[in-house]
Structure 1
């Protein structure tokens, strides 16, 4: 039986993350997301006593959830069924070969009425870099190779929660724009984040120097502000769902309404 090609080269991904740690990882996006997570948890009228965090970089998350179990984002997660009242999938679901499977495993690890939260990069991430790399490569080589990870749109990502059997699903996003004095600095940051190209279908040769220089020149030309700084977009998508429990809000059964919407609207307009 022929196996489908894998989206992610797991060996390369782990190598890139190890290199990022050796460089001193650049985790400002993780730091921002961790602060956002704290704010979201503060809005929930609940004290969580047994949390787990799925992440490749533990430091920002351990500070927000001290004592939480830190779990590597392997294909099979080190999570026991029903062991946690909070599971956070932090900044790595976009690399998952099977994102639904990852969420299903997190859901199984939750106790009834436990909370699942994920934060990951969405479809608008690095839109500027994608554009200039594609334009430069097509112009200079006549072809196009996979260079930036394809990332899901918020509607599709939100649907994963229901497919995983979680209740009260919510998906929202925040477009984070970062400015750089030089587009080359963005590439350095991506390396220090462990977010460089680990696609299974990527070209194994180095990017031709001419392609890279052309892409950087296009970046500075098309995506600079009045001060000459270039922008980079990071689409932070948040997914939230609850392990089903009988105490949770449920929609009314169809046909159980005491009066029709037409009657309600009619009475409102008369009033």
Structure 2
């Protein structure tokens, strides 16, 4: 198999995560909201979990899992400083090369932590292998149109100043990609849906400061290494939409749910094996295909 396309600078991401360990509390309300929306999905199952992996939760996941009575929680992060403050048993681990034994956990939660992975399908395969049979995987990723307002404003400003654009906001997946990624990685019962967190900022600098505080600065390998024009960010700021209650910033959470395969899970019935007619259940008359019912 060929190597996956390298899109992100993982070494730079690690350094930014190390620095963000001292500032991430500034964006705790946003990360907490995302974590709550993801972990609330546990209310949809009667399973009781005992061994959980918090993958890159930045201090917002491990304690919530412990509060739900899960006795063993490991917190893994690319940054040793971020792992140390996450709240579970700290492990420094690269999401692209997970060090865990097969079947080590019955629950894996990745809240806003997989969008910087170069080989996302490969990472999902490793997560599925780290799950015991009938173990649950929950993940949220920022998806399109997250930060579309900022992406558009920067592109317009750079085009005006330099006659072209360079990647300044990370590429994000679309909702339609979610379930397909889970299926490709071998998860059973895959589900993907989306929820929006709508943010408002008093100034454009507040949005940029929050991104830096969370360790979410531009880490694409194709980023422009030159010092940006002095006028770039002021011009981009002027292009951001202004509303009565502030500058809007969209954060769309793509929420992925999948189970490690197990013989005890429900399976779709074999085609043609039904013993009752749908028309009887609905109390209607069945017509052959292509036949129009009488008026």
TM-score w.r.t. the length of structure 2 is 0.83
RMSD in angstroms over aligned alpha carbons?
Answer: 2.0
Residue by residue over 1:185-239, the C-alpha shift from the partner in whole angstroms, topping out at 9 and shown as x without a partner, is 10000000100100011011232121211100111xxx22124x10101111110
Q: Within the alignment, does 1:241 sit opposite 2:252 as a pair?
A: no
Aligned match for 2:204, one of 161, 183, 186: 183
Q: Within the alignment, does 1:171 sit opposite 2:192 as a pair?
A: yes
Cα displacement (A) at 1:264: 4.2
- C-alpha separation in 2, matches of 1:69 and 1:45: 22
Partner of 1:119: 140
Q: Is the 8 Å Cα contact of residues 98 and 126 (structure 2) preserved in structure 1?
A: yes
Q: Residue 136 of structure 1 aligns to a residue in which SS? A: helix
Q: Residue 255 of structure 1 aligns to a residue in which SS? A: coil
Partner of 2:76: 71
Cα displacement (A) at 1:117: 0.8
Aligned match for 2:154, one of 130, 133, 149: 133
Cα displacement (A) at 1:116: 0.8
Q: Is the 8 Å Cα contact of residues 107 and 135 (structure 2) preserved in structure 1?
A: yes
Residue by residue over 1:161-208, the C-alpha shift from the partner in whole angstroms, topping out at 9 and shown as x without a partner, is 000111111111111110011011100000001001000110112321
- How many residues align? The count is 263
Q: Is the 8 Å Cα contact of residues 38 and 255 (structure 2) preserved in structure 1?
A: no
Cα displacement (A) at 1:265: 7.8
- C-alpha separation in 2, matches of 1:154 and 1:79: 29
252-261 or 187-196: bigger deviation: 252-261
Q: Is the 8 Å Cα contact of residues 175 and 236 (structure 1) preserved in structure 2?
A: yes
* Structure 2 alignment gaps of length 5 or more: 67-71, 79-93, 287-295
- C-alpha separation in 2, matches of 1:85 and 1:266: 40
Structure 1 segments (4+ residues) deviating >6 Å = none
Q: Is the 8 Å Cα contact of residues 31 and 60 (structure 1) preserved in structure 2?
A: yes
- C-alpha separation in 2, matches of 1:72 and 1:78: 12
- C-alpha separation in 2, matches of 1:4 and 1:96: 10
- C-alpha separation in 2, matches of 1:3 and 1:239: 25
* Structure 1 alignment gaps of length 5 or more: none
Cα displacement (A) at 1:266: 7.7
Q: Is the 8 Å Cα contact of residues 57 and 110 (structure 2) preserved in structure 1?
A: no
Q: Within the alignment, does 1:30 sit opposite 2:31 as a pair?
A: yes
Partner of 1:110: 131
- Structure 1 residues 21 and 82, CA gap change in structure 2 (3 angstroms): same
193-202 or 205-214: bigger deviation: 205-214
Cα displacement (A) at 1:5: 5.7
Aligned match for 2:242, one of 217, 221, 224: 224
Which structure carries more helix by proportion?
1
Q: Is the 8 Å Cα contact of residues 20 and 214 (structure 2) preserved in structure 1?
A: yes
Partner of 1:8: 8
- C-alpha separation in 2, matches of 1:251 and 1:173: 25
Cα displacement (A) at 1:258: 3.0
Q: Within the alignment, does 1:158 sit opposite 2:179 as a pair?
A: yes
Q: Is the 8 Å Cα contact of residues 5 and 200 (structure 1) preserved in structure 2?
A: no
Partner of 2:167: 146
